[in-house]
Structure 1
Amino acid sequence: MKRLAMIFAMDQNGLVGKDGTLPWHAPRDLKWFKAATLNKTMIMGRRTWDSLGRPLPKRTSIVVSSAPRPSALPEPVHWVNSLDDALALGQRIDDGQDEMLIIGGPTLCELAKPHVARFYRTILDATYDGDCWFDRDFASDWQASYRGTVPATGDTPAMTIEVLNRH
């Protein structure tokens, strides 16, 4: 059975988004996102899917939405109507991996939290303006299996990257 994980980045205050996008450009975090999601099944809400604009290479996408399935949906993208349907489908997809990842948006993340066994979290050492937050202390009792710091470079602030596991 595949483990359910979630991956996200936040600023020091727990901000994760602004107008449906990331309020920062952090190339090293995007590299981390790619490494963590490559060859895996990603579960996301429709707005997150829309923000990507296309399927990400070497990843299967499951979009959760109450909206009707678009007639022209590229492969390998699946459209389902509930988190339960997404989790069941994710278990059936044979991608050779032991986990699938929730990648956004905020409503889906909140629904999925009780089912998540691992969090991949990036905390940027900065604050930004935005309209979407994630509880910064949600995993205070989780065990960190990895914690690394990335120094600031150019316009990109320093960041802490963590892998947190449920006890």
Structure 2
Amino acid sequence: MTEAEQKVASRPKIVFVVAVAANGVIGREGGLPWRLSTDLKRFKALTIGKPVVMGRKTWASLARPLPGRPNIVISRNPDFEAPGAEVAPSLEAALTIALERAAAIGSDEICIIGGGEIYRQSIGMADVLHVTEVQAEVDGDTRFPPIDPATFEKVTEEDLPRGEKDSHAMHFVTWRRRTAPPGGAGV
């Protein structure tokens, strides 16, 4: 293994956690266009104990820091404050903070949790995509970038019927990068 490959292999994986409608929509007017209790439980299980990186709009939609995980919010506004989270001026700065927090807590993953612009900027660095495919087409103003099957391969998938507290049925898919991203985490 080359030195570059060892560096990539030893760093925490960059993992996306996202719910996407059949038409690519992930958000509407600063919120989620569905109610998916089953997916929220899965989201918590996938992210607990790991640094979570998000954009300012995603932070605003949460209304509070996610407990049990370091929260890192990206905002270009130098005066922006996110009580209970760390603020970074760029994706690169957020990933640097996330790598430090992951090392401090012994996490082997950093989770990118939105929104659309953050996913678009970072998909080239992602190692794993945990995608909840919402079995519906919904109206929305925020979209997830297309997943390139030449870059990512499906490694697991599971159908999940609509639960009592779910507005739609879901299909869980995990994608893994076929080759290491160029330059590792980009930090």
Q: TM-score normalized by structure 1?
A: 0.91
- Of 61, 67, 83, which residue of structure 2 is paired with 1:74? 83
Deviation of the 1:32 alpha carbon = 0.8
Q: How does 1:84-123 map to 2 (within 5 A)?
A: 84-93=92-101, 94-123=104-133
**Residue 139 of structure 1 aligns to a residue in which SS?**
coil
Alpha-carbon distance in 2 for matches of 1:103, 1:69: 23
Cα deviation code 1:43-98 (max 9, x no counterpart): 00111111111111101101110112446x433x1111011111111111112210
- Of 129, 145, 160, which residue of structure 2 is paired with 1:135? 145
More divergent stretch after superposition (82-91 vs 155-164): 155-164
Alpha-carbon distance in 2 for matches of 1:70, 1:16: 24
Alpha-carbon distance in 2 for matches of 1:113, 1:79: 21
Alpha-carbon distance in 2 for matches of 1:95, 1:78: 16
**Residue 148 of structure 1 aligns to a residue in which SS?**
strand
**Residue 104 of structure 1 aligns to a residue in which SS?**
coil
Structure 1 residue 24 corresponds to structure 2 residue 24:
no
Q: 1:74 to 1:131 in 2, by over 3 A?
A: closer
Alpha-carbon distance in 1 for matches of 2:53, 2:100: 13
Bigger proportion of residues as helix: 2
Bigger proportion of residues as strand: 1
**Residue 92 of structure 2 aligns to a residue in which SS?**
helix
Partner in structure 1 of residue 169 of structure 2: 158
Structure 1 residue 33 corresponds to structure 2 residue 49:
no
Unaligned residue ranges in structure 1 (runs of 5+) = none
Q: How does 1:52-67 map to 2 (within 5 A)?
A: 52-67=62-77
Unaligned residue ranges in structure 2 (runs of 5+) = 1-10, 179-187
Partner in structure 2 of residue 12 of structure 1: 22
Q: TM-score normalized by structure 2?
A: 0.82
Q: CA RMSD in A?
A: 1.5
Code of the aligned partner of 2:149: S
Structure 1 residue 125 corresponds to structure 2 residue 135:
yes
Alpha-carbon distance in 2 for matches of 1:152, 1:30: 13
Identity %: 34
Deviation of the 1:140 alpha carbon = 2.2
Code of the aligned partner of 2:32: L
Alpha-carbon distance in 1 for matches of 2:39, 2:135: 12
Matched length: 164
**Residue 127 of structure 1 aligns to a residue in which SS?**
coil
Alpha-carbon distance in 2 for matches of 1:88, 1:29: 28
